[in-house]
Amino acid sequence: MLKSILIVGTGGFIGTVLRFLVTRYFQLHAYSVFPWGTFSVNIIGSLLVGVIYGLAEKENILTPETRLFLTVGICGGFTTFSSLTNDAFMLLQHKEILRFALYTSLSFFLGLMAVYVGRLIIKMI
């Protein structure tokens, strides 16, 4: 159990730092009310989860520890539901109803599609 905790914690640290860097980049370069940073990390993370689980199912080349490190650790630290919901709340608070609707629906739909595409990519290889 301690080994799993260390694996997930290490991956989570890496994913969290990556999320911070990506969202910070968008904060500095995307002059928009739309939360592009959180949106991007959630879609990219969903794609990666699809690729990782696709690899695990197709080739069985990932050990359980590696899969844990990549999915729960890195992808779990990289993506963030709490930031998504906070960003959505902020859009509502600023009466950005159209942006709120786009952000929430696209986050879910594109995230779901990204998982599917990730798995599809691996199946096609």
Give the number of domains in the chain: 1
DSSP string, 14-62: HHHHHHHHHHHHHHHH--SSS-HHHHHHHHHHHHHHHHHHHHHHHT--S
Rounded Cα–Cα distance for residues 117 and 125 (Å):
12
* pLDDT at residue 125, rounded to an integer: 87
Q: How far out from the chain centre does Cα 36 lie? A: 13
Residue span of the structural domain in which 57 resides: 2-124
Q: pLDDT tens digit string along 60-118?
A: 888 999 999 999 999 999 999 989 999 999 999 999 999 999 999 999 999 999 999 99
Q: Tell me: the pLDDT tens digits for 18-34?
A: 999 999 999 999 988 89
Tokens 């592009």 appear where?
A: 36
pLDDT of residue 87: 96
Q: Are 68 and 49 in contact (CB under 8 A)?
A: no
Q: What CA–CA distances, in Å, run from 121 to 27, 45, 54, 76, 100? A: 31, 15, 8, 21, 30
